[in-house]
Structure 1
Amino acid sequence: MEKQQAIEAALADGLRAKAFGITPENVDEMIEKRSHLLKSVFPAFSEFCQTTFQVEPKEMLQVLWDLWLPLGIKLASQRQQLERPLIQGILGGQGTGKTTMSKVLSLILDQLGYRTVSLSLDDLYKTYSDRLLLTQQDPRLIWRGPPGTHDVDLGLNVLDQIRQLQSPVMLPRFDKSAFGGAGDRTTPEIVTGVDIVLFEGWFVGVQPINPDVFDTAPPPIITDEDKAFARDINHRLYNYLPLWERLDSLIVLYPTDYRCSLEWRKQAEQQMIAAGKSGMSNAEIEQFVNYFWRSLHPELFIKPLVKDATLVDLVIEINRDRSIGKLIQIRNS
């Protein structure tokens, strides 16, 4: 792409330009900076595409240019202004690309000289033995994932150590394959000199809502038992609020239709089966996804959140084909 074309494209999408602080006055400088960064990050990005995705880098080049590079530059700037480690929350459901984005942003930020680590909400799961006890106490918690299945104090300790510039820090890690897929803690990762934490998960930053809402909740919250479960899970969210208070910023990956996550999950499982691996049937997937919609329904929890400028900084819409839609800056930073 010629520089002039890049400049015009950067200004053409007003929402995206606003999100990345691009103006007619600074666009030339911003495109120059992005071009230099592209050149320096491309070898590592290329290797990542080929080893992790088994795709040609050129297939991912547009999203790298349009989203990941300017977002990396934005996060680096936020870290610089903060003068302490930045805790960046990334909220995204099944198939929204939060893990991929975290990995690519880490590559970019490392290239910019910022030691970046990813921490998933999954890494904070309670141990296998603790979750067995939890299931005995509440048999409705048949799967790990909903509020109540994490060790919030563990997360607080880790984030506080990083915020307070302690080093080294032991990042918890979770092995999903342990105990026949039930999962358990594994050896922590020892990290030093952390500048930025990308803290991602399917309900990172999600707030409890008025329990009266569940009286007229959308499917699959149908029966009285469903409503009671949804209320209980909603109540458990209060325990996570101290964790969300550690976030300096929150990005939401927001499917234009929350039901896409069901389709995406089916596609992922079909690909696994086609590759000779074990995968869930469509009926099992629907049961699985509906369980999580019963616990934290996207229409009830995510839809209001993405309009809340006190909690969310940036909303990245994800189209049905998983391409990037609109970028909307919610909080003026």
Structure 2
Amino acid sequence: MSRRIWDSNWTMNWSMGHGAINPLGSFPEERSRLLQAIYPSLQEFCIHTLGWQTCPIEILRDLWLPLAMQLQVWQRQAWDQSQRPLIQGILGGQGTGKTTLAAILTQILNLLGLQVCQLSIDDLYKTYSDRQQLQQADPRFCWRGPPGTHDVELGIAVLQRLRQSQPVELPRFDKSAHGGMGDRALPEPIAQADIVFLEGWFVGVRPVDPIAFDTAPPPIVTAADRAFAREVNDRLQDYLPLWDLLDRLIVLAPTDYRYSKQWRREAEHRMIAAGKPGMTDGEIDRFVEYFWRSLHPELFIAPLLGKSNLSETSSADYVIEIDANHCPTRLYSPTQPDRPTQSASPAD
């Protein structure tokens, strides 16, 4: 999330007609009490860990805290029903703030007395050696990231142990290894968790009907583009057992998926201005469009938002829309009927 996130002019359109969490809450006294209790710690976290100027209290009050309270409810339901932690998926492309959201929710939930662990789909990358072999076998996999570049079985094993409340070593990935090609890092031992976040740019995404590629949007324009898109679509099948371990899914969706290219340019320009290596605009275009060819947002993300029937994907539990400045502007639930929805009180 960019530093515009604490703009004093920020407002949230909560789209109450689509089942969003009521910002006033069905229990405002409880929310107000928690807000006062956690704000000092969140302020310190935002300043010292995230490098922000302050903690945006409006977003804390109207988005982060309500989501954390809803997660607390879902965690209790998972425990009461199956004596296991809640496995929460978070999907978001580059610049949407998925990692930041997971970190902030983790801080809030820790303050509420819950143990939380974070796992990124990036942590499940295949080893450097395995990815080199993949690229030699199929040069189209020239970047790490698309389906086919992850150790799905490792992810399944980790989530299954967590679901069974067993100690586990969380895999970690060092993106700087091998000159930026990346490789496995030392794992992080975890004894147990109440909530597990699995976040990534295509977490929960499912294959679409192959006929969709016959009329796919740009940059899927050539026969080679369509062949690659179909190959990646097929490889998504391998991820379904991993997605099936998720209890819930939150999607951070830019109001225009093309913002990701703009955001990447801004990030690379900042790196270059700071004297660090960075990609040229041409390299950025090729990089971003590579991922649009592999999993185009109009084909693969739209079903999760309730805006397409190209796949049998169930809609996300909540969608947070993100504007051009990385700011959340709207929260809605595509799975809910057109009526206001209020989260249950953790005290119930």
Give the TM-score normalised by the residue count of structure 2.
Answer: 0.87
In structure 2, distance between residues paired with 1:13 and 1:153:
38
Q: Which amino acid aligns with 2:327?
A: S
Shift of 1:141: 0.4
Q: Which residue of 1 aligns with 2:41?
A: 44
- Residues 274-313 of structure 1 correspond to what in structure 2 (within 5 A)? 274-307=273-306, 310-313=314-317
Q: Does structure 2 conserve the Cα–Cα contact (< 8 Å) formed by 1:15 and 1:329?
A: no
Aligned to 1:179: 178
SS in 1 for 2:52: coil
* C-alpha distance in structure 2 between counterparts of 1:38 and 1:48, whole Å: 15
Contact 1:254 1:318 in 2 (8 A): yes
State how far apart, in whole Å, the 1-side matches of 2:20 and 2:134 are: 42
Q: Where do 1:186-201 residues align within 5 Å?
A: 186-201=185-200
**Equivalent position of 1:53 in the other structure:** 50
Structure-1 separation of matches of 2:132 and 2:279: 23
Matched, 1:325 2:326: no
Q: Name 2:344's counterpart in structure 1.
A: none
Q: CA deviation at 1:193?
A: 2.1
Instruction: Report the AA paired with residue 75 of structure 2.
Output: R
Matching of residues 49-128 of structure 1 within 5 Å = 49-58=46-55, 60-83=56-79, 84-128=84-128
Corresponding position of 1:35: 32
The answer to which structure, 1 or 2, has the higher relative contact order (CA under 8 A, 6+ apart) is 2
SS at match of 2:324: coil
RMSD over aligned CA atoms reads 2.0
2:204 alignment partner AA: G
Structure 1 residues 271 and 32, CA gap change in structure 2 (3 angstroms)? farther
Q: Conserved in 1, the CA contact under 8 Å of 2:171 and 2:188? A: yes
- Distance in 2 (CA, whole Å) between partners of 1:40 and 1:274 is 40
Check conservation: 1:220, 1:294, Cα contact below 8 A: yes
In 2: Cα distance, 1:323 partner to 1:107 partner: 20
Q: Is the Cα–Cα contact under 8 Å of residues 122 and 173 in structure 2 kept in the other structure?
A: yes
Q: Secondary structure at the match of 2:283?
A: helix
Q: Which residue of 2 aligns with 1:252?
A: 251
Structure with bigger helix share is 1
1:114-171 CA-partner distances (Å, limit 9, x unpaired): 10111000000000011011111111100000000000000000000011111x2110
Shift of 1:211: 1.0
Give the match's secondary structure for 2:118: strand
Q: Which amino acid aligns with 1:218?
A: P
Q: Give secondary structure in 2 for the equivalent of 1:95.
A: coil
**Pair 1:212 & 2:211 matched:** yes
The CA deviation string for residues 220-263 of structure 1, in whole angstroms up to 9 with x for no partner, is 11111111000000100000000000010001101110001110
Q: 2:317, 2:335 within 8 Å by CA — same for their partners in 1?
A: yes
Aligned partners of 2:178, 2:114: CA distance in 1, in Å? Answer: 36
Contact 2:21 2:332 in 1 (8 A): no
2:69 partner amino acid: I
Q: Which whole-Å CA distance do the structure 2 matches of 1:16 and 1:169 have between them?
A: 42
Structure-1 separation of matches of 2:32 and 2:287: 43
Listed one character per residue, the Cα deviations across residues 61-81 of structure 1 (whole Å, up to 9, x for unaligned) are: 222221111100100111011
The answer to which of 38-47 and 170-179 deviates more is: 38-47
Deviation at 1:288, TM superposition (A): 0.4
After TM superposition, the score normalised by the length of structure 1 is 0.91
Structure 1 residue runs without a partner (length 5+): 1-8
C-alpha deviation, 1:48, in angstroms: 2.1
Over the matched positions of the two proteins, sequence identity in percent amounts to 55
> Runs of 4+ in structure 1 displaced over 4 angstroms?
none
| Cα distance in 2 for residues equivalent to 1:194 and 1:180 | 34
1:314 aligns with 2:318: yes
Measure how far apart 1:103 and its partner are. Answer: 0.2
Using a 3 Å threshold, how does the CA distance of structure 1 residues 41 and 140 change in structure 2: closer, same or farther? same
Shift of 1:21: 5.6
Q: Which ranges of structure 2 fall in alignment gaps of 5 or more residues?
A: 1-10, 308-312, 342-348
Separation in 1 of the partners of 2:23 and 2:178? 49
Q: Look up the equivalent residue of 2:64 and give its one-letter code.
A: W
